[in-house]
Structures are given as structure tokens and as C-alpha cells.
Amino acid sequence: MALKLEQFKQVVKFKGVQTQKTIALRPETAVTAGGDPTAALTLGAGLVGIYVGSGAPSITAVQGSMYFRTDGSSASTRLYINTTGSTTWTAVTTAA
């Protein structure tokens, strides 16, 4: 049984402390080419986010945000970090 977002907000706990923070989960949202800023985990208003998409990231995000590429096929196309607070993303080299 899936929880609706309002129900989910009421039961989320971190280390036994209930939080009033919003965690946006969108299981019905398909992976978007270049990323979708509305389907991300953001860590506060105006703070870093975690994004997912296919292809190289093309969205604007806060500097320090991460982008996981679902179709990354090499050690330098799987993970990106936003380095400017705009649309500049730098690939992070990962282990094979």
C-alpha cells in the first residue's frame, strides 16, 4: 500500500525525531532527459538538491547539487556536481 504525500509527511522520522520537513517523492514521474527540477530531493529552500535524469544535466541548480545520470556508461558519465549555481555541471570520475 502506497502512502500519499500527506500521510508520508506524518510518519517520517530521523533517529526517532519526527520531522515536519517535506520530502518530495514522485514514483509516478519518469526519468527526464537532462533532469527535472520538480522531481528532486532538495535539502531546504534554496539549498543543494539531488537530481536524477538521463543524458547530461541541463537544469539550473544550486552550486554543490548532485545529478545522477541513469544512462551513464563510463566512470565519468555517472555523477555530476553543479559548480556555478547555474547550468554548469562537472563530471565526477567514479570507480569502474
The Cα 3–Cα 67 span in angstroms is 26
Range of the domain at 42: 26-96
Burial, 28: exposed, middle or buried (Cβ in 10 Å; 0-12, 13-18, 19+)?
exposed
Number of domains observed in the structure of the chain = 1
pLDDT score of 16: 53
**Which three-class secondary structure state does DSSP give residue 6?**
helix
Bridge partners of 13?
18
Whether residue 5 lies inside any domain: the answer is no
Position 4 pLDDT exceeds 70: no
pLDDT score of 63: 93
Whether residue 9 lies inside any domain: the answer is no
Global confidence as pTM: 0.70
pLDDT band at 1 (very low <50, low <70, confident <90, very high): very low
DSSP code, position 58: -
Whether residue 3 lies inside any domain: the answer is no
Whether residue 57 lies inside any domain: the answer is yes
The Cα 22–Cα 75 span in angstroms is 33
